[in-house]
Structure 1
């Protein structure tokens, strides 16, 4: 894996034909095309607004600008996932916490047309390595719905251990949904997840 800029953010992470780079307002058309084509594939895993919330739906541009502002503050890393130069998904490092915690969470989605090729598995490995070795974070967490078999395979392939279960954890697809919780620390993979994946 290479980090072309060698810095925390903005960062471009590359491995063969797979590339993670900052999500941009210029991705609007490609992002919308992939999301519209994958409505049935993605909607059951998408975050939704709980009843009574004041949050309003945002345009793509507003979403990217908000995420970019969070990235500038060191609280988030919003990556576009590209394969063979084509936009195929999104991976976001969220909730970056410093101080005594030094942890973050990762969420992701991918175009069904390229699912099953290990692209998100490798993307997660690349992002975790970036968090551990460039951002110097200590722990990365991933929350997955019990029904999301494809996502559960990602953490299984990477050897990320399950540590708990959170009932009604996040508002997904119109209701509060249970999640299985997974985490890995830097001590558990001193050579990184990409090296573990390749061994």
Structure 2
């Protein structure tokens, strides 16, 4: 099982015994997340409410990892589950590329945790999986998600029109790319950007 650690996070694949924590976060954040995610088939069991469906989801993800077609990471902050970062649609051959997606508990949004986790996942994708390129796709009106890639300074590749069906609507997405060469040249810079962002937040005055 692949495990990654950062200063504030542990990242590892979800297992069936994680259902209670996953269920609590997904249920509490259901309305907040639904507007950014593809709508599941109406006939499919909901893994956020059905322990067996969640266990099946974990088994599918385990098989994808064994085949090298996808890699999933749950995020734990201070011992509590708080989100996911997934490397999906891994293409080999001449492509050596993948898509990266993420979500986080609404209560922890804006604290830089996703960007911190992404940096670790990029290292995994390039240094362990051997990919040459990763892509992050974000709806242009999803300001919170855009701030994540802005913190890392990812390169924009423009707008893909009608790219993914979200909540029943074909939505445009802004695509961001990172290549192995960029990663090798910029990994220390991206880590420094995150440290600077955290220090900036820590120095801001608070009310009360």
Q: TM-score, normalised by structure 1?
A: 0.88
Match of 1:72 among 41, 66, 69: 66
Please say if residues 129 and 192 of structure 1, whose CA atoms lie closer than 8 Å, have aligned partners that are also in contact.
no
Cα 1:70/1:129, change in 2 over 3 Å: same
Q: Which runs of 5+ in 2 are unaligned?
A: 47-52, 194-208
Rg larger for: 2
Q: Does 1:47 align with 2:38?
A: yes
Give me the whole-angstrom Cα distance separating, in 1, the residues matched to 2:144 and 2:77: 19
**Whole-Å separation in 2 of the counterparts to 1:182 and 1:22:** 24
Query: Would you say the 8 A contact 1:50–1:174 is kept in 2?
Result: no
Equivalent in 125, 133, 145 of residue 139 of structure 2: 145
Structure 1 runs, 4 residues or longer, greater than 4 Å off: none
**Aligned to 2:19, which of 23, 28, 32?**
28
Deviation per residue, 1:75-120 (Å, 9 max, x gap): 0111110001110001110011111111111011100111111000
Q: CA RMSD in A?
A: 1.8
State the alpha-carbon separation in 1 of the partners of residues 57 and 17 from structure 2. 12
The answer to whether the Cα contact below 8 Å between 2:8 and 2:113 also exists between their aligned partners in 1 is no
**Which structure has more helix as a fraction of its residues?**
2
Residue-by-residue CA offset, 1:123-152 (whole Å, 9 max, x unaligned) = 111101111111111100011001110111
Q: Give the corresponding residue for 2:202.
A: none
Task: Provide the rounded CA distance (Å) in 2 between the counterparts of 1:107 and 1:152.
Answer: 12
Number of the residue aligned with 2:183: 189
Q: What is the match of residue 3 of structure 1?
A: none
Q: TM-score, normalised by structure 2?
A: 0.84
Aligned partner of 2:3 in structure 1 is: 12
Secondary structure of the corresponding residue to residue 190 of structure 1: helix
Aligned length: 187
